[in-house]
Structure formats: structure tokens, C-alpha cells
Amino acid sequence: MSFLDIDKATKSYGAVRVLNETDISVEEGEFLVLVGPSGCGKSTLLNMIAGLEGVSSGEIRIRDRRMNDIKPADRNIAMVFQSYALYPNMTVRSNISFGMEMHGVRKAKREEKIAEIAELLQLTPFLDRKPGQLSGGQRQRVAMGRALTRDPDVFLFDEPLSNLDAKLRVDMRTEIKKLHQKLGTTIVYVTHDQIEALTLSTRIAVMFGGEVQQLGTPQEIYDNPTNMFVAGFMGSPAMNLLPATLRDAEGGVAVELALPDSSYISLPFPRGATLSGQDGRAIVLGIRPEAMTDPESADAESPAIHQAELSIDVIEPAGSDTYVTVSLCGKDAIGRFRANTSARAGARFPFSFDMAKAVAFDPETEQRID
Amino acid sequence: MSIASSTHRIARFALYGVLALFCLYYLMPLYVMVVNSLKPLSEITSGGMIALPKEWTVAPWRNAWSEAQVGVEATGMRPYFINSFLMVIPAVAIATILGALNGYVLTKWTFKGSTILFGFLLFGCFIPFQIVLIPMARALGMMGLAGTVPGLIFVHVVYGISFSTLYFRNYYAAFPTELVRAAQIDGAGFFTIFFRILLPNSGPIAVVCVIWLFTNIWNDFLFGASFSDFNSQPMTVALNNLVQSSTGVQEYNVHFAGAIIAALPTLLVYIVAGRFFVRGLMSGSVKG
């Protein structure tokens, strides 16, 4: 029994299944992020937890209480919407107080709570303004303030930062994380932004096609993606997914990567030890850009650094790093070099492959095989 | 001065000239009405329709308002004017509120068949008044409302709902559903959401709806003539009776004054709320 149990929750619209038998258990105080591309079912799942959409089959329980047929207002949840959904005809004060008023909280108590929340979110100077007179970040804070009045069991966030500009988004992200650390409330947070997912969460559920592809801590998801979808979706730039061939080698397994001039480079693959004896098998090798770097930047702790010289196609300086594109196995592979690298486009340059970080997928099933 | 700019000025001049001419043309009937309502009958019958009054008088206005022979007694138009208000205000209020409720349900609480229902409601906009005269007379009779002001209110509400629903449905279709959901989570019920969240944000479309209904119901003659008796006749019917009375001399100056009195309320509504009208029409139709 966890704090919030999603038990085989399914949502269908007629014959279309948008969410398929999803199981997630959330412990009290966790920050769970549901991440995935548009139409993956993440917002539907959030709305089902909120009670704004019905559950076709399965169960949603909070504190062991079955929620399926309980009205949104009686679930003791609070929700922050993507558009903030502030009532435009009411002042900030009334916006924050509306929910308490609906729940029959006495006026004196309401005033007290409003003052407390305004203090917490630095909204005191704006209490008598209308939402139309506030900036995006202030509206966002009012929306959170409104949610805070309830002392909810679970906070639900529906892409709360996607309407903000890039700078403000980063600031508010930190604000939300601080708030979580201060209040310790359980949070379920929906986003399509994998950076938000990695930075905010204690656990991530990566969703696609109405199914949870992988559920785990940010580190697990990043280092050990269970399939090619998760590998490609999480991380920026995305993990390089290279069609390669397994080779049995002395003392273990190696992978063979094709170069544009139809020669090969062969790299030892320590994680693929379980795949020995499958010489010649086609696999997809997943390797993150930071595991394909210049020799000076290579992880000195890693037990499996291997160098190979490759011809560079494109150099993209990005300030803190330089992204280097090479042609490998018929694909564009991206490596992350340090900012002041001497690598130049068109020249050959030694690459350090951190093969301890590489993973292997089956090209047919797209699942992890190592 | 260059040739280009002088031809430009001539074109401008011609344009404004034509516009001024049209303006005069459109204002002419109003001018005739006002001028003739302010002169003694003898000046009109002696052939001076266009001329300003030689002798200014408000007697025709007083006459039309409180002395003219409209019905059985010489009451002027005052009681009918009051009848019209007793009919228009409740009819507009009820039709607007019901339309807003319909719009709310049809957009935020959609159910199976709600689109079809809206289609049928819209159909009401296109049914000519004449078709329903006899069935409506029968219905009013069965309800015991025949020949009464409440009967007229009922008829106008029934006809008004189609339009008010159309206006509010289109307006609320563009109204963010997230606000309704947020209010639901805050614990507000069906009517609380309607009265506290939607209605306060419906200003522009409410103005459009009120102007439209007010003008239509105030100006209606057919229902007024068909479903009222002597005590419940609205303004339009009284004006007709005033002008059509076949006894005695045709008092044109009184007729003119009566017609202006009959038109004044709608004119006032337009002047007061008119600028919201265009704005509201746009916001309702374009976004919807």
C-alpha cells in the first residue's frame, strides 16, 4: 500500500485506448514526473488522478481510499494548470481564497492563510490586482498559491512552466523544487520537457503510446534506459543509437562500428558480457554524447575508455561545450567535447569512447539486451 | 502645389460630398418626423412638410403621450408604453439567463447528443413568426395566458432562447475549460461555477444579447397584435391603432410624436450600449 496507488488504470474513448493498464505507486513526499511526447497519455493520467476524467477500468487510490467515484473537490488534491486558469474577474486575493470559501472555511481563517501564502510566494504586493495585471511568473505563483491553500495530499502540476519564456522557466523550476523541499508534499508533475523531468523529480515515469515505458529515478532512466524510445527521448542531445555488430573477442565481447570509408572500428564492450557467443548479431549500440568525447575530457574513473580516430563533419560550439558530429554506422553521431577543443571540421581527431556507459538494444524489439 | 496632390484633394472633396449627401438622405425622415411633431396640424395640412415650424409647440407630444384616443378611452400611449416595458424587461432577462445557461451546458457539460440539441435550438432562429401563430394561440389558451402580458413574455422567451443560446454557446466555446476545471477542484458546483466564474466574464456577449432581444421584442408587432387584448397591448399595436383610427381628422403631428416615442427606448439602448455591440459580436463569432 503506497500513498498514491495507480492500479491497472485504463482510459478508453470508445474503441481508442489512450491509457493502457498503468501501474504506478507513489510514496508520500515523492516528486513523480510523468514525461513523454504529446498524446502519450500523461495528461489523461493526471486528469484521472484529479477526477476531471473518469477511469474506464482499474483503480486510483489515495491513502488507500478508492477515488474512482469521488468528486475532484473531495479528493483532497490541488492542481496547477498549464494556462494557470486564474479567474480573470477576481483579484489575486479572491483567486486564492475561492477554494477555501467553497469548502466553508471561516473568513478570519481564510485571511490568515492568504497572508501566509502570499508571504511564502512573495505575492503580498499583488493581492488586490487582477490576474490580467500580472506578469507570467506572478500568475504562475498565484496558481501555485491557490493550490497551496488546501494543504492537499497530492499536488498535481499540468505542464506548469510551458507558457513561460526560457529564462523564467528555469527560475520557476528552481522555485518549484524549493517549494517541494520546504513542504514535502507529494507531487505528480506532467511535462514534455525531459530536462524538467530530470532536474525536478525523485522518480520519472517515461510514457509513450498510453503505456509507461520505464519508471525509475532520474539516474536509472538516464544511465539504464530499458528501450530505444526512452534512450532517445531522455537527454539532450539525444543518445546516439548506432546500428552495430557484436563480435566475440579475446577476454569478452566487442562491437564493430562501420565508418564511411567501409572500414570498421572495434571497441570492447564490457557490459555486453552476457551476449558472448553471439558473434555477428546485429544490435543497436546506445552511447551518450558525453561518452564520446575528446581524450582530455574523458572520465578518468571509467574502467573502459577506448580511443579511436574519426573524421569530423561538423563542429557546433555551445558555450560550455562543443558538439562534434561524425558519421558512424551510417548515422550522424554527436560527441560532447570541451569548449576550447582544438578539433576542427574536416580533420581527423581522436575520440575517447566510455564503453562502460554504452548500452545495447535489439534492433527488432527495441528492448535492452545487455 | 503639385498636380498629384491637387487631384487627390478633388477626389477627397468629391468623396466627402457624396457621403454628406447620403447622410442627409438618411437623416431626412428623422428630420421630417421631429419637425412635424413640433408644429400645429394647420401648418402640416397647408403643405409645409419640410419647413421648420413657424409656431413651435409640444402639444402633439403631450397629446400622443397622455390624451390621444388609442383604445376605448382617451389615455394616450402611456399605458401601452408601460405594457411594453412590463413585457420587454422580463422577457429579455429570462431569455438571456436561459441562453447563458444553455451555452454553459452545451460547451462545458457536453453530453451525448448535445450537438444535435444545439442544432434544433438553432432551428428556432429560422422559423417564421407566422407559422407558429395558431399553435401558439392554442398553447397560450390552454395555459390560461391568452391576452395577457405574461403570455406575451412567454412567446418572446421561447423565440428569444434560440438567439441567446447561439450567442452564448459560441462565446463560451472560446471560454477556457481549464477555468471550469480549476473551479471544480476548488469545490464549486454547477451553478456556483456558472454564477461566479462564467457570468461575470460574459459582459460583451450579454450586451449583444440584450440589445438584440430588446430591439426585437420591443419592435414586435405580429405577436403583440395576435396575443394581446385591450389591457395588454404593447406600444407597437397602440401606435398602429393611433395612426389607423378612422374617426375624425388625421392628426399627423400627433402620429409623428407617437412614432418617435415608440422608437425612443431602442434608440437609447443603442446609444448607451452600442459600442459594446460590435465588440461583443466579434468576440462571440470570430473566436467561436
CA nearest to B199 within chain A: A89
Q: Which of B187, B234, B196 is nearest to B214 (CA)?
A: B234
Domain ranges of chain B: 3-67, 78-285
Q: What pLDDT, on a 0 to 100 scale, did the predictor assign at position B287? A: 34
* pLDDT at res. B3: 65
- Kindly identify which residue of chain B lies nearest to residue A94, measuring between CA atoms: B196
Ranges for all domains in chain A classified under CATH 2.40.50.140: 240-361
- Return the residue in B111, B112, B186, B195 with the most chain A beta carbons within 10 A, the one to mutate for interface testing: B186
Is ipTM strictly over 0.85? no
Best mutation target among B177, B185, B198, B201 (most A Cβ atoms within 10 Å) is: B185
Q: Do A72 and B184 touch (CB under 8 A)?
A: yes
Q: For residues B266 and B218, is the Cβ–Cβ distance under 8 A?
A: yes
Could you give the CA distance from residue A92 to residue B84 in angstroms, rounded to a whole number? 43
B199 inside 8 A of chain A by CB: no
**% of chain A beyond a pLDDT of 90:** 38
Contact status of B183 with chain A (Cβ, < 8 Å): yes
What is the pLDDT at residue A33? 94
Report how far residue B147's alpha carbon sits from residue A230's, in angstroms, rounded to the nearest whole number.
Answer: 75
Residue B122 CB burial class (10 angstroms; 0-12, 13-18, ≥19):
middle
Distance CA A197, CA A222 (A): 11
Per the DSSP assignment, residues forming a β-bridge with A368 are A361
Closest chain A residue to B187, measured at CA: A73
Query: Could you report how far apart the first and last alpha carbons of chain B are, in Å?
Result: 51
pLDDT on residue B288: 32
Cα A131 to Cα B241: distance, rounded to the nearest angstrom: 55
In CATH terms, is domain B78-285 a member of 1.10.3720.10? Answer: yes
Chain B contact for A221 (CB, 8 A cutoff)? no
CA A143 to CA A8: how far, in whole Å? 31
Determine contact: B176 vs chain A, CB below 8 A: yes
The whole-angstrom distance between A83's CA and the closest CA on chain B is 8
pLDDT tens by residue, chain B, 288 residues = 566 677 888 999 999 999 999 999 999 988 888 888 888 877 777 877 787 888 888 888 888 888 777 766 777 788 888 888 899 999 999 999 999 999 999 998 888 888 898 888 888 888 888 888 888 888 888 888 888 888 889 999 998 999 999 999 998 988 888 889 889 888 888 899 999 989 888 888 888 888 889 988 998 888 888 888 888 888 888 888 888 875 667 788 888 888 888 888 888 888 887 777 666 555 544 333
pLDDT attached to residue A219: 94
Cβ contact, residue pair B178, A81, below 8 Å:
yes
Q: Inform me whether the C-beta atom of residue A151 falls under 8 Å from chain B C-beta atoms.
A: no
**In chain B, which residues have their Cβ closer than 8 Å to the Cβ of A50?**
181, 185
Surface-to-core class of residue B30, CB atoms within 10 Å of its CB (0-12 exposed, 13-18 middle, 19+ buried): exposed
Which pTM was predicted?
0.77
Q: Which residues pair with B147 in a beta bridge?
A: B228
Q: Is A341 helix (H, G, I), strand (E, B) or coil?
A: coil
Q: Residues A65-93: pLDDT tens digits?
A: 899 888 888 888 889 888 888 998 889 99
Closest residue in chain A to residue B202, using alpha carbons only: A89
The whole-number pLDDT of residue B277 equals 67
CB contact under 8 A, A52 and B201: no
Cβ-Cβ contacts under 8 Å, A98 against chain B: 183, 186, 188, 196
Do residue B201 and residue A72 have CB atoms under 8 angstroms apart?
no
Stated length of chain B: 288
Give residue A121's pLDDT: 83
Q: Does domain A240-361 have CATH number 2.40.50.140?
A: yes
What torsion, rounded to 10 degrees, do the Cα atoms B69, B71, B74, B75 define? -110
> Is B201 part of the contact surface with chain A (CB cutoff 8 Å)?
yes
Task: Identify the closest residue of chain A to B185 by CA–CA distance.
Answer: A73
Instruction: Name the residue among A51, A88, A98 with its Cβ closest to that of B186.
Output: A98
**Cβ-defined contact of A85 to B179 (cutoff 8 Å):** yes
Distance CA A6, CA B109 (A): 27
- The overall average pLDDT reported for chain A is 89
Of 3.40.109.10, 1.20.1560.10, 3.40.50.300, 3.40.1010.10, which CATH number belongs to A4-233?
3.40.50.300
* Chain A contact present for B187, CB below 8 A: yes
Q: Write phi, then psi, for A193 (nearest 5 degrees).
A: -95, 110
- Tell me how far CA of residue A304 lies from CA of A215, A245, A257, A271, B51, in angstroms: 28, 19, 17, 10, 108
Peptide bond into A237 cis (omega under 30): yes
pLDDT bucket at A120, cuts 50 / 70 / 90: confident
Tens-place pLDDT, residues A122-174: 888 888 988 888 888 888 889 888 888 878 889 999 988 888 888 888 888 89
| CA–CA–CA angle B206, B211, B212 (5° rounding) | 100
Closest CB to A87: pick one of B179, B181, B184: B179
Which residues from A are below 8 Å from B196, CB to CB?
A: 87, 98
CA distance A257 to chain B (A): 51
CB pair distance less than 8 Å for B183 and A87? yes
Residue owning grid cell 473537490? A73
Confidence of residue A342 (pLDDT cuts 50, 70, 90): confident
Only one residue has cell 451555452, namely B103
pLDDT at A320 over 50: yes
Instruction: List the single best residue of A44, A46, A52, A146 to mutate versus B (max B Cβ within 10 A).
Output: A52
A358 within 8 A of A269, measured Cβ to Cβ: yes
CA gap A333, A345 in Å, rounded: 14
Chain B positions in Cβ-Cβ contact with residue A89 (cut-off 8 Å): 197, 200-201
Beta bridge partners, A367, equal A227
In A227-281, DSSP assigns E strands to 240-249, 252-258, 264-268
Instruction: Give dist(CA B258, CA B248) in Å, integer.
Output: 17
Residues 65-124 in A contacting B (C-alpha not used; CB under 8 Å): 71-73, 77-79, 81-83, 85, 87-89, 98-99, 102-103
Query: Chain A contact for B179, CB < 8 A?
Result: yes
C-alpha dihedral, A73 to A77 to A82 to A86, nearest 10° = 50
